[in-house]
Structure 1
Amino acid sequence: EEGIPYTVKVKTGDKSDAGTSAHAHIRLVGRKGRQTRLVPLELMQKRRFERGKVETFSLQEPDIGDLDAVEIEHDGETEADSWFLEDVTVEMPTKGRAFYFPCHAWLSKERGDGRTKRTLKVQDSNISTFRPLIPYEATIYTGDVENAGCDCDVSLKLFGTTGSSSEHVIPKDEGLFERGAINPFKFELDDVGKPIKLRVKIIPQHKKGRHKWYLENIELVRHTQHNERQESYFFGLNDWISRETDFCQDLALTKGGKALLKQTTYRVTTKTSDMGGAGSDSDMSIVIFGQFGDSGELKLDDSSTHRNKFERNN
């Protein structure tokens, strides 16, 4: 069983000598008796659980339903290995569920009750919900035209019938976003209902370099909580993303090569106040918000009524 993602947050108490460098493990226990294996909590960039700090771990384990308890332990033998554990929080991102397990006790052979293993029961009053994350697999196609590649990070923001996701940034790396490249990625996005459009931005990392990108199209494949392929969505562009487009393009959902989101024309009227100093020579832009998200930043470049825009009483 491939499993679903879990996010485990472990908080060490704010007591003298509360931290430990012992090896810790955790087991998740479900309400229907199912449980995960004993999973090591591996610290990536430090050697110990530090006093007053929260350490976050990403696990991929079977779906055991709502949680009832966690078993947590460490292998320390000496007093120096003593660990004062404040609490554990386990999130299930694809289900939008979070479970809180208080501890407030030592895991130690020399302190407290002498135990280095504890079973923590869920505190029902602190079970919370949040907007679930949906697993996606994206395939990004860079066009096969001259100078199509770029030296930028790429961010994706998905818009749908129930809202929009946060931005997901894909860092530039060797072989990514080059001419003719087909680059696959896996990540999670907020649940936005049925997708409508995909906003793609390029983020230049250095003053020098290739700051434009010819994007052909992007395929998004939505997966279930159990990582089964569910539905595919195609977003076509076949155009440049560059300084001329403010490093951003909105890609409409397409079917049979045709965009499903229709383009329209808006007439925007602005009125500058009739008071001293009210006018401006700055560039202006507007964002239009609607039922299915927003238009992105639209520059107010050309006026059909005034050659010198945004002047007093215009």
Structure 2
Amino acid sequence: VSVKDPKAAQAQYRITVHTSDIKFAGTDANVSCQLFGEMEGKLISTERFALSNAKNNFERGQVDVFNITLPNVGEVRRLLIGHDNSGVGSDWHLNNIELLCATTGQHCRFYYNGWLSKDEPPYKLEVELFPEGSDKPPLCRYTITTYTSDLRGAGTDANVSAIVFGDKGQTPSTKLESSHNNFERGQRDEFVIESVDIGKITKLQIGHDDAGLAPAWHLSHVEVLSQATGQRVYFLGDQWLDKKLGTLSLTLEPSDAKGAKQVFKVSVQTGDVRGAGTDADISIILFGAGGMDSGELLLENSMNNFERGQLDEFKLDLGHLELGAVTKVEIGFSTSQSLGGKASALFGKQCESRSFDGALTSSITSHNTT
């Protein structure tokens, strides 16, 4: 690669990292970095790359220099740096970073002077930094809402973090925490994070650190809302995040991705009047705009569904059946009743058509999953 060739495919970077000279500032964790730049009006970024050239990088008061050949991103506009929280004493107090690109001639400094730690403010393991003297772009807010499954043992006390990806970039990995009891069984938790504009949301990475007793977590789904654009994206998990299964972290595609399966969330509200509840087996049939139907689907997720005044939620996986928009539902006693259901309903009674008002009401939300 020739020196001062701004349009070269590859570029030579020298990245100088200054660890702060304060107590416990050093880290034994694995540090990585990513560069984001612009060339001829096009946004470009490198892949995530490790910063490591010695056994004792990032000690207190130390300056570490890394010479790396990377894809040329043009003028570097921001930098993402963080660590994986591994090792003893993983907390890191980063002072600043210098960047010199011999290929483009750019020389800039990124100031931080703060902790990258899950235990110290601002409680994050990654940070976005911008060159000194540059105009920092306005930050956008993203609301991340997680839904823990209503299954035995589904909740977790582990530390959960997430990265939202877009067609213009990605957010830093951010710890999701808003109370001491996040991610309990059947619970909805909402978090707000800030980042530069990442453009159209394209995927989500979410995981936890396996900390605490019984850290395995069963994630139902996640909603991400861009407060700037109003874009709302659904990501279906429906699986365990469990070290024993090798799934501490999941990368999820939007639920409306091409070729996705159709999954419906059905919410059924039983009326709050005397005798409204039932122990019978209840089924539903969904009818689509194209004339297709789902067939009879049993609504069941616990031993106490359809109690008086109760809201029950069910997830119905239709696979790759292209049902389309739901135009009508039929809901009622299942054609085939369990032993318990026989005692509470007329055996063999067909599902009866019901509207969305009355003692038993339902709402249907369509999602897709790849």
Q: TM-score, normalised by structure 1?
A: 0.46
